[in-house]
Amino acid sequence: MPIVWAGEVTPKMKASAFAYARATSVANALELLTAHGEKAKVLSGGQSLLPAMNLRLIAPELIIDIGELAELRGVVVKGGVLTIGALTRHVDLLKSPEIAAHAPLLRDALTHVAHPAIRNRGTIGGSLAQADPASELPACMLTLGATIVVRGPSGERRIAANQFFAGIYETALTPQELLVAVELPVTPKNSTHFFHEFARRHGDYAIVGLAAQALVKDGQFADLRLGFFAVGDRPLLAKSAGKLVDVVITSAVLSEAFSALDDELDPLEDQQATPAMRRHLAKVLLARCVSSLLARPDLCTGALA
């Protein structure tokens, strides 16, 4: 991203001026958003928002700090549903026995989210509302069939994860709405998962990544959900997973899935990789995922030739 000098002594690596309001309750945050939503940004952990502001990619007139709203923090398991408050930090999720037991895919993914100092501040709600297409958590939400809970002037809305992400940094949230929680169905005990991403450095945004959840029965997939990220302008729940369910997986079947996956991808070009490289890496991840979940090392070799 370019640094603009604009004739100043120092480069523009500082946020432009803004007004600041510390929300005292969710109701107060919603009042502020109702009055100023179009010109405001909500600050939770700030680990995505503040870099964007320091780089002058965005310049909100008002920052609404929800960091002290303890009511938005925590993990609760009830009736087969895992509810995660929007302000729950990555580090809290990593240490949560509930997440380890009921959403192990999310735990694995979180070890790849940035670095310890950033995981100490970054929150799940912030990551989802930011909707960076190269970030891990949005894809996990698709894979795990999450529901995003938001509140606005007219009450609460519950949005399926596959309806929530609308493009680069774009979501179904309106400027007056606040993301308050995420609900995940408790992962079945006999379910398995796979998470991997390619990045230049551990913890950096992915070049391509895959968050997968599966039910394996008698050496075949009874169910397979593949959430890819950094393969387009938003995370992708690949329909091509269907090609791999209830069949004996052979190299030929895998090749068909590769070609179906290729049709679904719309990778972007950036400093890190070309679209062609991203398409290739997505296939590599799919091969590794299938091979790992079915304990079939044979599928990882040759299939990509």
CA distances from 46 to 176, 252, 256, 289 (A): 19, 46, 42, 33
Q: Is 14 helix (H, G, I), strand (E, B) or coil?
A: coil
Question: What is the rounded distance in angstroms from the CA atom of residue 139 to the CA atom of residue 231?
Answer: 11
Shortest distance (Å) from residue 203 CB to other proteins = 5
Pick between residue 14 and residue 239 the one whose CB is nearest to other proteins: 14
Shortest distance (Å) from residue 29 CB to other proteins = 15
Shortest distance (Å) from residue 114 CB to other proteins = 7
Pick between residue 64 and residue 299 the one whose CB is nearest to other proteins: 64
Shortest distance (Å) from residue 103 CB to other proteins = 22
Cβ neighbours of residue 175 under 8 Å, at least 6 residues apart? 33, 37, 38, 40
Question: What is the rounded distance in angstroms from the CA atom of residue 210 to the CA atom of residue 230?
Answer: 9
Pick between residue 47 and residue 96 the one whose CB is nearest to other proteins: 47
Shortest distance (Å) from residue 128 CB to other proteins = 18
Pick between residue 91 and residue 210 the one whose CB is nearest to other proteins: 91
Sites of contact with other proteins (CB under 8 A): 13-22, 43, 46-47, 50-51, 54-55, 62-63, 65, 67, 91, 114-118, 120-121, 201-203
Question: What is the rounded distance in angstroms from the CA atom of residue 235 to the CA atom of residue 161?
Answer: 10
Pick between residue 16 and residue 274 the one whose CB is nearest to other proteins: 16
285 touches 209 (CB < 8 A): yes
